Amino acid sequence: MNTKTWDHSTDFLIVGSGAGAMVAAITAHDLGASTLLVEKSPQYGGSSAMSGGGLWVPNNHKMKDHGFEDSFEEALTYVKGTVGDEVAEQRIISYLNNAPKIVKYLCEKAEIELDLVPDYADYYQDVPGSKEGGRTLEAAPFDARQLSEEEFLQMRQPPPQELIMNRVSMNIPEAQSALTHSPGWIRKMLVRFLEYCSDIPWRFKSKRDRRCAMGNALVGSLRLALKNRNIPIWLNSPAKQLIVEEGRVVGIEIRQNGTNVRIQGVKGVLFAAGGFDNSAVMRDKYLPKPTRPEWSCGNPYATGDAINMGLEVGAALEMMDEGWWGPTVVVPGEERARMLVIEKSLPGGVMVNKQGKRFVKETAAYNDIVKAMYANHSEASPCVPAYLVFDANFRKKYPVGPLLPGAQQPDWAVSADIKKLFIKKADTLDELARLLGIEAQGLKDTVQQMNDYARTGVDLEFHRGENAFDQFYGDKSVTPNPCLGPIETGPFYGFEVYPGELGTKGGLKVDEYARVLTESGQVIAGLYATGNCSAPVMGRSYPGAGSTLGPATTFGYVAAQNAIGGDLF
């Protein structure tokens, strides 16, 4: 391709506009370089804006304030203990060294407010170096009035599962409190609802909550940092092809308003364009089966473009069969699947396979639930879909999937589509099993066993509810075990659960500087990758809440720093 003429030139060219892309742009700018983000969709933010917004950052600067001790060594022991040997140690070290620095920088120099989620425990409590809390940060609620109306509405909206009644935003502690009924949850929800209603006259214009939380708070505050630095984002500008000159990536061709536009990235090009969540072809090619794009919670524009453009210039791929797994439900009328983060841990429910048998500790990390689904799936004994089964008491008390607790949304107030296409309800377990298409005797035996466990508080099979992580999403008012309750009061309910993800995980092979590598380990000069288009530093694991955004942002910083040179700190 002729590289003599450029339509536009910038020092550091970034493809995508999620959190990793934005942190890279802030870094490049603050190191004195020009930068530009090109985004395929009409909205910026990608899955990062749709996310819970948690960042898993061991040894972060806020831990001490909350009385947590941590160290690089403990974090390394823990990550290596969960990730194993498949990831180069240098990458893990790079992550653990750089993540605390960049989050501190964002807080102090980019006015991005990050709060600790103090009791969000690491997911593998039995692995040495784990903590019972302190390593997960989330963006503090962000007031979108700091952006123009257009800038705010151009941010990808949060998915329904992060909103009360599909409108009112909640941060992680508010969501946890509402879902697990911790003391004061009703008051907290009322306050949030009143705040939402009192945003007049905006309330007459849009139902979108301007008090952003979770991923919208993270991306909203990063967007403000970009605005304050005059860093441009070009929307509706999909990258189509890398431009290579003498073995070095020197720019990209994008498509804009029906024409090809050639942009030079003088110091480098960063792919931060997400995974292949919504590509049926790539899912079929790479992921375990069965798999479907509609089981994914991720951004619909994640179609693997960066991975394929990287392949064209000789990049190697790693861990393409992996996802940031989680059990999901497909709700009629919703664009993307919902992840079951909390419901699976609450007392009075159980997850079973087609034979009506349990196959996993329901309170396990969501990543492991899907791994167990696939490991236990065969034609003779299907585990895809699996089923979440619960009773009338559970239905009355807890929100589940798209349903509010029955006390607030009785069955008569549930839409006909949800009743027809999503949830099954029956007076007996026999009838429920028939409606779900699972073995009745298996289900009845399992429920009997769960009821015994609920009485003693000990799950002899899988040890549900026995550690701090399990209990984070338990109901603290339930004893002796906040994650175990009887399933004995009809009517009984159930629905199908799929092996979904928050995004696919495998991608371009990268080194500790986020430089893209060939199969033989050669650096492809000028090309960097972060986020879900790059192979995960977390390997096949998911060490704690925020394990995808933590690395996406950190390696965005690392890439920009390596390309531009100089030091931020």
Ligand X SMILES: Cc1cc2nc3c(=O)[nH]c(=O)nc-3n(C[C@H](O)[C@H](O)[C@H](O)COP(=O)(O)OP(=O)(O)OC[C@H]3O[C@@H](n4cnc5c(N)ncnc54)[C@H](O)[C@@H]3O)c2cc1C
Binding site for ligand X (CB under 6 A): 15-18, 20-21, 38-41, 46-48, 50-54, 159, 238-239, 272-274, 297-299, 301-302, 305, 324, 339, 502-503, 531-532, 545-549, 552
Least distance to ligand X from the beta carbon of 238, Å?
Answer: 4
Least distance to ligand X from the beta carbon of 367, Å?
Answer: 11
DSSP string, 54-77: EEE-TT-TTTGGGT----HHHHHH
H-type helices in 287-415, by residue range? 305-312, 366-375, 392-397
Strand partners, 498: 328
Buried b (16+ CB within 10 A) or exposed e, 205-230: eeebbbbbbbbbbbbbbbbbbbeeee
Least distance to ligand X from the beta carbon of 129, Å?
Answer: 19
The structure tokens listed for 211 are: 């008090």
- φ, ψ of residue 268 to 5 degrees: the values are 155, 165
Beta-carbon-side half-sphere exposure of residue 533 (alpha carbons within 13 Å): 35
* 252 versus 438: smaller Cβ distance to ligand X: 252
Task: Answer positive or negative: Cα dihedral of 82, 216, 94, 242.
Answer: positive
* 424 versus 505: smaller Cβ distance to ligand X: 505
Least distance to ligand X from the beta carbon of 523, Å?
Answer: 21
Least distance to ligand X from the beta carbon of 556, Å?
Answer: 8
* 220 versus 531: smaller Cβ distance to ligand X: 531
* 298 versus 494: smaller Cβ distance to ligand X: 298
Distance (Å, whole) CA 304 – CA 40: 12
Least distance to ligand X from the beta carbon of 535, Å?
Answer: 12
Is 239:15 a contact under the CB 8 Å cutoff?
A: yes
* 39 versus 466: smaller Cβ distance to ligand X: 39
Distance (Å, whole) CA 371 – CA 377: 10
Longest dimension (CA), the chain: 75
Helix, strand, or coil here: 180? helix
Least distance to ligand X from the beta carbon of 411, Å?
Answer: 26
* 100 versus 274: smaller Cβ distance to ligand X: 274
* 54 versus 133: smaller Cβ distance to ligand X: 54
* 44 versus 493: smaller Cβ distance to ligand X: 44
The kind and range of the H/E element at 169 are strand 168-169
Least distance to ligand X from the beta carbon of 257, Å?
Answer: 15
